[in-house]
C-alpha cells in the first residue's frame, strides 16, 4: 500500500473478516456448520431444501403457510424462458456444462424486467426465478448435448426430485429423491467461500441479482473451488480396484500430489457434511449392489488420516454417491450451483439490505521512482 505505514497482506485473505453475516458460520476447529443458527445435522435430519432456502433468505424456518407460498412461487418459475432453451440448442455440444450454465443464467436477465431491482421485493422475486430455473437449465443442457428432447419441469415435484426427473425422464424413487434433497441442503451455504464472496463483491456495487449470481457461477467453475467431487470420482476410476489403493496413495504423496476430496481450507477435523455423504455413499452402494467405490473411498480416508492426519471434505463421498445415482461426472459442479444458489442469493439479499461497496486495498510490492524514458532510448 502507499499509505506510508507498514502493512502485511493476508495471502488469499485467509483469516480476514470481510463482512458481518447471520446466514452461515463455519467452526473449522470443532467441525460445526450452521445456517441461521441451526446445526447442519439438525437440518439434514429433519428439513427439506425448500425450507432451507426460506431459512437462508428470511433468517427463520417457515411456518406451514410460508413454506407452501415459497414452494408455489418456486414451482411457478421452474420453466426457463423458451428463448434461453433455444439459444442453448445452438451451443457446441462439447461445451462445458458450467460455461453453459454461466451463459444461460446470465441471459435470464433479459426476461425479467424487474431483475435489476436491489430493493427487497424485486431482489427476492429475482432470487425465486433463479432458484426455480437453474436446475431446469442444468438438466436441459445434458438432454440437449445428448440429442434428447428437453423434459419440461413437473410443478408437482420439489426442486431435488424435479431435477432428477428432468435429467432422466422418469421420477426417482423416494430414497434417491431424499438423498439428493439432503445433498442440496448440505451444499446450500458455506459462509464466505470464493463464489459467495464474489457474489457479495458484485452485489456490493448494486449490480443486479443476475449479474451477481453469474459471477458466482464463474467463480465456482474454477478447479480450486468447484469440481473437486468430479475429480474424486476420476481418481477412484483411475485407481480402479481396492487392492491398488495403498500403492496409489503412497505414490501420489511421494510425488506431492493433492488427494482430491481430502482436507479443507477451514475444517481441521471432519467436515460435518462428509458425515452425511459417507452414509449416503454406503446406502447407494448397498442399493445398487456395487460396494467397490465406497470401500475404496473408506480405505483412502483411513490412509490419509493415518499418514497425514487429514479428513474428508464434502466432495469426497458425494462423488461416489452421485456416481451410483447415475449422474454424469461433469454435472457435479452444476448440481453444486443448483444448491448453492440458495446461499448466494441469501448473501446478495443481505448485502443489499445493508450495503457498503467492497473495496479492499492491495499491498504494493512493485518498484518506485522510475522515470519515463523515450521509446528511442530504450
The catalytic site residues sit at 264, 315
Compute φ and ψ for 270, nearest 5 degrees.
-65, 135
Distance CA 349, CA 123 (A): 7
Nearest CA to 213 among 309, 109, 297? 109
* Cell reading at 277: 455423504
Q: Compute the Cα dihedral for 269, 273, 279, 280 and give only its sign.
A: negative
Q: Can you tell me whether residue 248 is helix, strand or coil?
A: helix
Question: Which helix (H) or strand (E) segment is 27 a member of?
Answer: strand 24-27
Nearest CA to 136 among 113, 155, 162, 112? 162
Q: Compute the Cα dihedral for 132, 136, 336, 113 and give only its sign.
A: negative
Nearby residues of 267 by Cβ (< 8 Å), 6 or more positions away: 26, 28, 31, 311, 313
Beta bridge partners of 24: 35
Which residue's C-alpha cell is 431491482?
117
| CA 15 remoteness from chain centre | 21
DSSP annotation of 327 reads -
Compute φ and ψ for 130, nearest 5 degrees.
-65, -45
Distance CA 327, CA 319 (A): 10
- Max Cα-Cα span within the chain: 77
Question: Which helix (H) or strand (E) segment is 165 a member of?
Answer: helix 159-168
* Cell reading at 361: 486495498
Amino acid at each position: 500500500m502507499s499509505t506510508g505505514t507498514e502493512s502485511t497482506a493476508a495471502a488469499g485473505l485467509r483469516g480476514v473478516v470481510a463482512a458481518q453475516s447471520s446466514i452461515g458460520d463455519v467452526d473449522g476447529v470443532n467441525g460445526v456448520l450452521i445456517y441461521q443458527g441451526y446445526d447442519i445435522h439438525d437440518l439434514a435430519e429433519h428439513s427439506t431444501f425448500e425450507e432451507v432456502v426460506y431459512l437462508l433468505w428470511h433468517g427463520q424456518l417457515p411456518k406451514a403457510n410460508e413454506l407452501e407460498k415459497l414452494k408455489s412461487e418456486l414451482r411457478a418459475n421452474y420453466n426457463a424462458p423458451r428463448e434461453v432453451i433455444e439459444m442453448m440448442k445452438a451451443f457446441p455440444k462439447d461445451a462445458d456444462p458450467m460455461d453453459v450454465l454461466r451463459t444461460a443464467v446470465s441471459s435470464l436477465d433479459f426476461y425479467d424486467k424487474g431483475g435489476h431491482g436491489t430493493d427487497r421485493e424485486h431482489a427476492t422475486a429475482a432470487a425465486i426465478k433463479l432458484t426455480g430455473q437453474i436446475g431446469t437449465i442444468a438438466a436441459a443442457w445434458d438432454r440437449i448435448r445428448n440429442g434428447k428432447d428437453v423434459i419440461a419441469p413437473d410443478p408437482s415435484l420439489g426442486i431435488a426430485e424435479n431435477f432428477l426427473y428432468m435429467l432422466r425422464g422418469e421420477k426417482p424413487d423416494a430414497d434417491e429423491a431424499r438423498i439428493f434433497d439432503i445433498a442440496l441442503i448440505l451444499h446450500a451455504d458455506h459462509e464466505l467461500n470464493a463464489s459467495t464472496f464474489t457474489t457479495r463483491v458484485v452485489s456490493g456495487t448494486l449490480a443486479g441479482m443476475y449479474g451477481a449470481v453469474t459471477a458466482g457461477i464463474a467463480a465456482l467453475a474454477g478447479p480450486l473451488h468447484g469440481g473437486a467431487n468430479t475429480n474424486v470420482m476420476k481418481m477412484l476410476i483411475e485407481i480402479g480396484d481396492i487392492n491398488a489403493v495403498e500403492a496409489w496413495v503412497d505414490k501420489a504423496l511421494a510425488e506431492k500430489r493433492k488427494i482430491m476430496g481430502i482436507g479443507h481450507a477451514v475444517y481441521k477435523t471432519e467436515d460435518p457434511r462428509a458425515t452425511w455423504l459417507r452414509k449416503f455413499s454406503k446406502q447407494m452402494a448397498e442399493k445398487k449392489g456395487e460396494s467397490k467405490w465406497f470401500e475404496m473411498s473408506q480405505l483412502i480416508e483411513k490412509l490419509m488420516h493415518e499418514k497425514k492426519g487429514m479428513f474428508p471434505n464434502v466432495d469426497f463421498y458425494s462423488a461416489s454417491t452421485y456416481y451410483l445415482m447415475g449422474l454424469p461426472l461433469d454435472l457435479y459442479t452444476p448440481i453444486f450451483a443448483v444448491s448453492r444458489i440458495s446461499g448466494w442469493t441469501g448473501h446478495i439479499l443481505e448485502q443489499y439490505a445493508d450495503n457498503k461497496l467492497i473495496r479492499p486495498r492491495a499491498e504494493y510490492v512493485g518498484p518506485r521512482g522510475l522515470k519515463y524514458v523515450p521509446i528511442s532510448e530504450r
